[in-house]
């Protein structure tokens, strides 16, 4: 563990974790705290940031990071649809620009960071509806499905996986892959690491997870497979790449998904990084491990979309024969 990562863990344990020890979720406080402390990196040279508000009946509401002078939906070899974390009730594309900017520049791929509706004003399945609608809008605008990777962190990681499941169930053409950073996939909080890593996790207490889930779920059962994709049938999904920290209370949310995916015949890779805090890539470029994690993520994006392009070309040739 680098000294930068150790410092981040100290900060989280001192400032963030105490909030998760409280008996109730304070949505307003979480939103205010996040917006107050958000650090926004500069837009990378050669790229531009473009905000969309979903006007005109279109489903794209969020932020495009794209090459200067380039249109995101025309002829791109790779594109990332990103779902930010924040327990489904706080954070935004703005709070997650460090991940988005780092991933885009490393993968040389435009990224659309989705501004999905938040709970409790908009409970499940609002976020899922927004994510599936955004993906379908990209396809409608001409983006080849196999050039897209759906990605996300924490709640956004769970949302990305749920989106893949929902798209498969609806018969939509699937993207090239799913990229998940410390995904929250079990809103029932039944993983062993909820207890085993309670106290070791510098960011969350174990009991806070179930409390946060209620904000998003309301009266919906926590085991609904579109809310908690760890309970979903994962057969037929595209390749998955996941990262999680060894001391996270949500570690088993990744471990169990990886086991279920492999049992279902899905190409799935899980990397467990020693003592890394929840969603550590968000600390790029300040933490070496965050930079290395984004390097690995970008490698997956390039590989998955390249494989998808080859598959699409082979399918085209076969159809002509």
* Average pLDDT for runs of 10 along the chain of length 321: 93 88 90 79 94 76 88 66 97 96 97 98 97 96 97 98 98 98 98 97 95 96 98 98 98 98 98 97 96 98 86 54 47
Instruction: Give the list of residues 6+ apart from residue 40 with CB closer than 8 angstroms, or none.
Output: 94, 97
> What is the predicted pLDDT for the residue at 38?
66
> What is the predicted pLDDT for the residue at 76?
54
Q: Domain residue spans in the chain?
A: 3-315
> What is the predicted pLDDT for the residue at 60?
87
How many whole angstroms separate alpha carbon 197 and alpha carbon 205? 9
What's the whole-model pTM score?
Answer: 0.94
> What is the predicted pLDDT for the residue at 314?
55
Per the document, the length of the chain is 321
Span 3-315: which CATH code? 3.40.50.1820
Instruction: Give the list of residues 6+ apart from residue 132 with CB closer than 8 angstroms, or none.
Output: 163, 166, 167, 170, 172
Determine which helix (DSSP H) or strand (DSSP E) holds 210, and give its type and residue range. Answer: helix 206-217
Catalytic residues: 154, 248, 278
């Amino acid at each position: 563990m680098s000294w930068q990562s150790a410092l981040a863990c100290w900060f989280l344990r001192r400032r963030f974790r105490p909030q998760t020890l409280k008996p109730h979720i304070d949505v307003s406080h979480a939103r205010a705290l996040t917006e107050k402390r958000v650090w926004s990196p500069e837009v990378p040279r050669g790229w531009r940031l473009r905000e969309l508000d979903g006007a005109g009946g279109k489903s794209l509401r969020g932020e495009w990071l794209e090459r200067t002078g380039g249109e995101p939906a025309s002829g791109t070899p790779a594109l990332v649809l990103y779902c930010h974390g924040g327990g489904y009730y706080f954070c935004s594309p703005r709070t997650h620009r460090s991940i988005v900017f780092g991933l885009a520049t490393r993968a040389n791929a435009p990224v659309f960071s989705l501004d999905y509706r938040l709970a409790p004003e908009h409970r499940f399945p609002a976020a899922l509806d927004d994510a599936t609608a955004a993906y379908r809008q990209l396809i409608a605008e001409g983006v080849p499905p196999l050039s897209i990777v759906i990605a996300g962190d924490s709640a956004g990681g769970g949302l990305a996986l749920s989106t893949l499941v929902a798209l498969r169930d609806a018969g939509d053409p699937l993207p090239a892959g799913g990229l998940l950073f410390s995904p929250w996939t079990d809103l029932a909080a039944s993983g062993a690491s909820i207890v085993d890593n309670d106290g070791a996790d510098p960011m969350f207490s174990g009991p806070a997870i179930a409390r946060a889930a209620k904000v998003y779920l309301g009266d919906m059962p926590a085991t609904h497979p579109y809310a908690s994709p760890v309970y979903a049938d994962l057969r037929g999904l595209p390749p998955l790449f996941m990262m999680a920290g060894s001391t996270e209370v949500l570690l088993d949310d990744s471990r169990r998904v990886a086991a279920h995916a492999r049992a279902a015949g899905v190409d799935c890779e899980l990397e467990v990084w020693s003592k890394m805090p929840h969603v550590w890539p968000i600390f790029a470029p300040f933490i070496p491990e965050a930079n290395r994690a984004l390097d690995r993520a970008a490698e997956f994006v390039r590989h998955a979309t390249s494989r998808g392009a080859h598959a699409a070309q082979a399918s085209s040739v076969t159809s002509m024969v």
